[in-house]
Structures are given as C-alpha cells and as structure tokens.
C-alpha cells in the first residue's frame, strides 16, 4: 500500500478532499510549517498523525528541508502530496523525492506559472482556466503534468469567484490523480517519463467543468 504524506500551510481543503476520497493508499502523516494551519486539525479529526516543522526555527531552507525529509522517512512515505504548502523547496529535497512528489497549480500549465494566476487570466481575457496536477521538479511548476481540470471563464467572474471555482475543480482532480498512483494506473519511470495505462503520456488527462 502506498503511504502518503500531505504537506500543508493553510486551511487544508485539498487535504480534506483527499481524506474524503477514501484512497487505496494511506495518508500516514500531515506536515505543516505553520502552527495555525487548520489542516492540522482536519488531520487530527481523521486520526492521521501530524508534525509541525516551523521554518522560522531553522537557519536555512536546506536545514528546514532536512528535518522535513527525515520526518517523511520516519513515516515510511512513498508519495508526498503538496496541498497548499507555501514554501519553496530546496533542490536537494526535490531531488530526493523526484517522481514521488505531486503538486496542484491553479492554472493550465505551462501557462501562468507562479503566483496570482486568477488575476492574470482575467487580465488577459482568457476563455478557459483551471488547474494542473504535476510532478514536482527543481524548476518551478515545470514537472510532468498528469491531469488538468478545465473550466470556462465567465464574463461575470472576479478573481474571488474564479479562485473558488478552480478550488472546487482541484477537489475533484487531485484525489483522482493520487488514486491513479496508489493503484499503479500512473507510474513514474526512471527516465522521467510517465506510464499511464500501458501508454506513454504525451498530454495530461483532462477533466472539464463548464
């Protein structure tokens, strides 16, 4: 069984979606860098182990990441899921978990890497927006995409309404991709490619919500 750790910094709505999905794998731990993250309470309510590693307590990003890395090893983790974890990870940490670490980004990558994606979509007048689940690599938001949730941008959308709609889509797409990995439907190969249902992915799987 795949053992999953979820890294969080905030309320943990994507964590809740993963818990509610009753995955084939087991969420063995939830780690946060913030003591006030409500995600820790969600984990406790679900009977999941938690760990608090406050980044402010460490002299460098690498030192902080080393402590996180050791905690993940102690939990026997096979898959790391970033769910609103608001820290840039060191290259050493990313390399250690490459092919075993996922993130969900609120845009249709490769468009709008980085921050403020909803505002940028509105500014540009895009017709479509969404989210992308991808493997984490040292280059920001550049790892292999596994799935994208797509929605139509409404004329009446604001940054807030668009963010809320994308967030709802994340709760559908993220658990599905994690479940694929838990069941072996998606596999990360040594050469960096992704095997999905016996065929190499050239494009991420797409989910649409109009």
For the segment 110-136, the average pLDDT, to the nearest whole number, is 97
Q: In this predicted structure, what is the pLDDT of residue 209?
A: 78
Work out the mean pLDDT of the chain and round it to a whole number: 94
86 assigned ligand-binding residue: yes
Instruction: Give the residue numbers annotated as catalytic, written as ranges.
Output: 105
User: What 3-state class would DSSP assign to 135?
Assistant: strand
Q: Tell me the percentage of the chain whose pLDDT exceeds 90.
A: 87
* pLDDT tens figures, 41-86: 999 999 999 999 999 999 999 999 999 999 999 999 999 999 999 9
194-196 vs 186-188, strand pairing mode: antiparallel
Q: In this predicted structure, what is the pLDDT of residue 68?
A: 98
Q: In this predicted structure, what is the pLDDT of residue 205?
A: 81
Beta bridge partners of 27: 4
- Please state whether the peptide bond connecting residue 178 to the residue before it is cis, i.e. omega within 30 degrees of 0: no
Please, are residues 103 and 136 in contact by the beta-carbon 8 Å criterion? yes
82 assigned ligand-binding residue: no
68 assigned ligand-binding residue: no
CA–CA gap between residue 143 and residue 184 (Å, rounded): 19
For the segment 178-188, the average pLDDT, to the nearest whole number, is 93
* pLDDT tens figures, 167-180: 999 999 999 999 99
Q: In this predicted structure, what is the pLDDT of residue 199?
A: 55
pTM to 2 decimal places: 0.94
Q: Say whether pLDDT at 200 is over 70.
A: no
88 assigned ligand-binding residue: yes
Q: Say whether pLDDT at 118 is over 90.
A: yes
CA–CA gap between residue 110 and residue 104 (Å, rounded): 13
Q: Say whether pLDDT at 197 is over 70.
A: no
27 assigned ligand-binding residue: no
The overall longest dimension of the chain from CA atoms, in Å, is 49
Q: In this predicted structure, what is the pLDDT of residue 156?
A: 96
Q: Say whether pLDDT at 9 is over 90.
A: yes
Q: How far is residue 166 CA from its own chain's centroid?
A: 14
Q: How confident is the model at residue 198 (pLDDT cuts 50, 70, 90)?
A: low
């Amino acid at each position: 069984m795949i053992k999953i750790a979820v890294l969080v910094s905030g309320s943990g709505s994507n964590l809740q979606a993963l818990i509610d999905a009753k995955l084939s794998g087991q969420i063995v731990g939830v780690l946060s860098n913030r003591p006030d993250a409500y995600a820790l309470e969600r984990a406790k309510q679900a009977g999941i182990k938690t760990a608090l590693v406050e980044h402010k307590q460490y002299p460098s990003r690498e030192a902080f990441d080393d402590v996180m890395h050791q905690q993940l090893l102690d939990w026997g983790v096979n898959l790391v899921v970033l769910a609103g974890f608001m820290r840039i990870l060191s290259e050493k940490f990313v390399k250690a978990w490459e092919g075993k670490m996922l993130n969900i980004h609120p845009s249709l990558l490769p468009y709008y890497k980085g921050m403020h994606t909803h505002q940028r979509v509105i500014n540009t007048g895009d017709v479509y927006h969404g989210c992308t689940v991808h493997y984490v690599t040292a280059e920001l938001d550049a790892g292999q995409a596994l799935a994208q949730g797509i929605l139509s941008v409404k004329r009446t959308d604001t940054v807030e309404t668009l963010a809320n709609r994308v967030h709802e889509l994340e709760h559908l797409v993220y658990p599905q991709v994690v479940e694929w990995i838990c069941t072996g439907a998606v596999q990360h190969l040594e050469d960096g490619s992704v095997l999905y249902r016996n065929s190499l992915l050239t494009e991420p799987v797409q989910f649409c919500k109009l």
